[in-house]
Amino acid sequence: MLQPKKTKFRKQQKGKVKGNASRGFTVAFGSFGLKALDTCFLTSKQIEAARVALNRFMKREGQVWIRVFPDKPMTRKPAEVRMGKGKGAPEFWVAVCKPGTIIFEAEGVSMETAKEAMRLASQKLPVVTKFIVKPDYNGN
């Protein structure tokens, strides 16, 4: 699963996810993309499950790019622990996903194959998504 090799600080505040994506909102590498239409925190497990579903349907043809990276640690306290006594230990990593963020890109397969693969991948994600095509895609 995806996670940073090293970070400056072990724990972060949650913060607010406001506004639309100001970067990573255009299809840059492939011809097809999966765009988020809502805000969410994508965990590394969800990204990996979607990637596996995408690659499995595409039968490892073409190429897939993951455009988000989980670099924010989320902490949890153990079950049935009283309040106080500090912040919990880091449990998993999330990627902050704003509306308009491209999550996956694909190339090297037909549009029908890419559309179905992206649909299967989107079912693994906790956010409403949309299949998009690069504006200069010519269909070859």
Question: pLDDT per residue over 16-70, tens digit each?
Answer: 999 999 999 999 999 999 999 999 999 999 999 999 999 999 998 999 999 999 9
**25 domain-assigned:** no
Angle at 11 between CA 7 and CA 15, to 5 degrees: 110
Which amino acid, 54? L
56 is a domain residue: yes
In a domain, 139, yes or no: no
Q: What is the pLDDT of residues 31-40, one digit of tens each?
A: 999 999 999 9
Q: Which residue has the tokens 């269909």?
A: 139
Report yes or no on 17 lying in a domain. Answer: no
Domain that holds residue 107: 32-75+90-133
Cα separation, 125 vs 57, in Å, equals 16
Residue 1 is predicted with a pLDDT of 86
**pLDDT given at position 140:** 62
Q: Percentage of the chain with pLDDT > 90?
A: 94
